[in-house]
Amino acid sequence: MWLGRKAVRGALLLVFIAVAAYIAVNSRNATPEETPVTPLPVVSVTTAQQYAGASTINLIGTVRAFTEAAITSEAAGRVTSVRVGLGDTVTAGTIIATLENASQQASVLQAQGTYEAALANAAQSTVSLETAKNNLAAANSNALSAYKGAYNTTNGVVLNNIDQFFRSPSGYYPSIRIGGEGNTQAIIASRVALQPALDDWRSKANTVNSTDSISQLLADAQNDINQVIQLLDLLTDSISNADDSDLLDGQTVRSYAPQLVAARSTLTTLTNSLQSSQTAISNSARSVTQAELATSGGVNSAADAQAKQALGSLRAAQAQLAKTIIRTPISGTVNSLNIRTGDFINSFIQVAQVANNNALEVVTYAGEKDRDVISIGDTVLIDNRINGIVTEVAPAVDAATGKTEVRIASESEDLQNGDSVKITKQVESSVVTDIIIPLSAVKFALTDGSVFVVENNLLVPRQVELGTIRGGSVEIISGLALDEEFVADARGLVESTEVEVIR
């Protein structure tokens, strides 16, 4: 038994040796395998001058409606009804919800009663004003008649009592018919000066009407009468100094004195009458003014003032009631609704939002450098697939953010109100002056950074001074020439790496 096992083990050992010898012989005769070759990294190089024609700015914007309103409560109270639902289309003025307002309605009713009572009182006071106006009209009419009559009387005194002492009394050179010492020239001068006043008075008396300033005409008439009285006084004085032998039309000159005295008395009475007419007009006008102060329809009417006060109270009560009725100021779709019937809400909280979702725009904010290359009418790309047009660029910089608001319109139906989107704009320049390179070409450090240039197919870092970052680009202040080639994408690359260059 033991010898049989030994023989089997020996046979197996011989077989193992033979197989090992066969493998060793075949290995020496086989062709040695080649070591695999690792391909060189491929980099793309460009220049700032080439890149300038293809630089872009990238901004983040928010989609919103052209017309949108956040509706807030103006009063605190319990919600008694909600009239719309989420997604409903509403028109401007539609009631969104109402608050408990029983006390406000009572205040409106009370204010309406006070206002109506004030109107009734104003209507009753109108009668006294009409009476005062009628009295003023009568005073004007009487004064007008007195003015015309005064001319006739005064002119009669001149013709019948004064002109008998003159030759050609209404001419340019009248002469006196009686003798006298010292006042002859004064009498002639007074008569010459009187004639234009009488002519003007006659003209006004024939054309005056109730709409003219009667008070001023009365004052002018009194001045004219005083001139006639002064002339009468001069003649009376001259007659009193005449001799008994002095005759006029066969009578002694002194015999004319009583006529002149009577004429003066008539004119004095006439002057007092005109003064009374003027006083009547003044008193009547004052009565009208006083009536207007207390009567509806006056310039500063007390009755109207009371009515206005009552109307103001009514408007205030209506305003308080209106605060309990929440309305939408614009037409659109209810995008949010934050209240339910039975809720108690405070003042100035947002209860709903209404917007015109069919007319959307994108709002973004551009920095100083980006603003310089954005103009109204420029074409931009929204989310790399939707075209948009710049419609508005704010004329000033927001003091809080230091940026400028830009609005972009688009007719795409893929935009949704409230979305955040990426905005891309190509910046083209026919004359390249600034050195602008892509951000991907920069290896950033604590201060500034570096770019890779290729020398003898090896990556060599070049320190650069960085300026303003503009979207996906950055300005190079120094360290790189405008026409000097650099690696366009330095991400993942290491200094001194051998590379293959493509242009």
Per the DSSP assignment, residues forming a β-bridge with 382 are: 386, 423
Least confident of 16-20, 54-58, 90-94, 176-180: 16-20
Average pLDDT over residues 338-353: 93
How far is Cα 118 from Cα 358, in angstroms, rounded to an integer?
Answer: 51
- Please state, rounded to an integer, the average pLDDT across all residues of the chain: 83
pLDDT for the residue numbered 82: 94
pLDDT for the residue numbered 214: 85
The helix/strand/coil state of 62 is strand
pLDDT over 60 at 244, yes or no = yes
pLDDT over 50 at 285, yes or no = yes
- The conformation of residue 392, written as its DSSP 8-state character, comes to E
| Nearest partner of 122 among 299, 285, 301, 290, judged by Cα | 301
Identify which has the larger pLDDT, 223 or 399. Answer: 223
pLDDT over 80 at 245, yes or no = no
String of DSSP letters for 293-350:
HHSTTSTT-HHHHHHHHHHHHHHHHHHHHHTTEEE-SS-EEEEEE---TT-EE-TT-E
Residue 94 — very low, low, confident or very high, per pLDDT cuts 50/70/90?
Answer: very high
At 24, list the tokens: 């060793």
| Nearest partner of 338 among 76, 132, 150, 73, judged by Cα | 73
At 161, list the tokens: 């009592």
pLDDT over 50 at 222, yes or no = yes
Q: Is 377 exposed, middle or buried (0-12, 13-18, 19+ CB in 10 A)?
A: exposed
pLDDT over 70 at 20, yes or no = no
How many angstroms separate the Cα of 451 from the Cα of each of 317, 492, 494, 501?
A: 73, 13, 11, 15
Question: Of all residues in the chain, what percent are helix, strand and coil, respectively (each to 5)?
Answer: 45, 25, 30
pLDDT for the residue numbered 318: 93
pLDDT over 50 at 7, yes or no = yes
Residue 1 — very low, low, confident or very high, per pLDDT cuts 50/70/90?
Answer: very low
pLDDT over 50 at 3, yes or no = no
Residue percentage of the chain with pLDDT more than 90: 30
At 425, list the tokens: 């704009």
332-337 and 89-90 as β-strands: parallel, antiparallel, unpaired?
antiparallel
pLDDT over 80 at 280, yes or no = yes
Most confident of 120-129, 327-336, 424-433, 467-476: 327-336
Q: Which residue do the tokens 């002469």 mark? A: 175
How far is Cα 415 from Cα 405, in angstroms, rounded to an integer?
Answer: 20
Average pLDDT over residues 266-289: 87
pLDDT, one tens digit per residue, over 147-191 is 889 999 999 999 888 888 888 888 778 888 886 555 788 888 888
